Amino acid sequence: MASEQRRKTRAADHAGTTPDDEAPWADLEMAVPTERDHASVVALVECALVELTHEAVGAVFISRQVGRSTRTQYVAADDVGEQFQKRHFDDRLGWHETTVPRRTVRDELITQLTQLPSTSAERLGEGATSEPDTFVVKPVRELRTP
């Protein structure tokens, strides 16, 4: 009950600081590679984790290589933001879901957002794709699920 009240209070605080037509997490989007420095990427990830804990949103990282794409979604699994549901989709292998701690999500997102997009493609002996990898926070109802 107390956590629900804190969530409502934070939502009201966010509502007071953002325009009516824009959610507080609406600008949490990025293409990879990015020109952001490491500290900026860490701040973006921390911001996303807070929003995942307090709003009905999920973080999505989409990686594209020639002939293949993967999608990793993170959604809070508890009210305190210590456990997250990780849904990973590979168009060749399908969906895999697991529960992971906050620290793992934080580390994975920082790694994904600071990597070079062509690294995986080069490892496979392929060229980079024309579309960049992307990271976005969006409402849970808009996430693709199995």
Query: SS3 for 28-86, per residue?
Result: CEEEECCCCCHHHHHHHHHHHHHHHHHCCEEEEEEEEECCEEEEEEEEECCCCCCEEEE
pTM: 0.74
**Rounded Cα gap, residues 109 and 113, in angstroms:** 6
pLDDT tens-digit map of 63-81: 988 778 899 999 999 988 8
- Is residue 41 classed exposed, middle or buried when 0-12, 13-18 and 19+ CB atoms within 10 A define those classes? buried
pLDDT tens-digit map of 95-145: 999 999 999 999 999 999 998 755 544 544 455 556 889 999 999 998 876
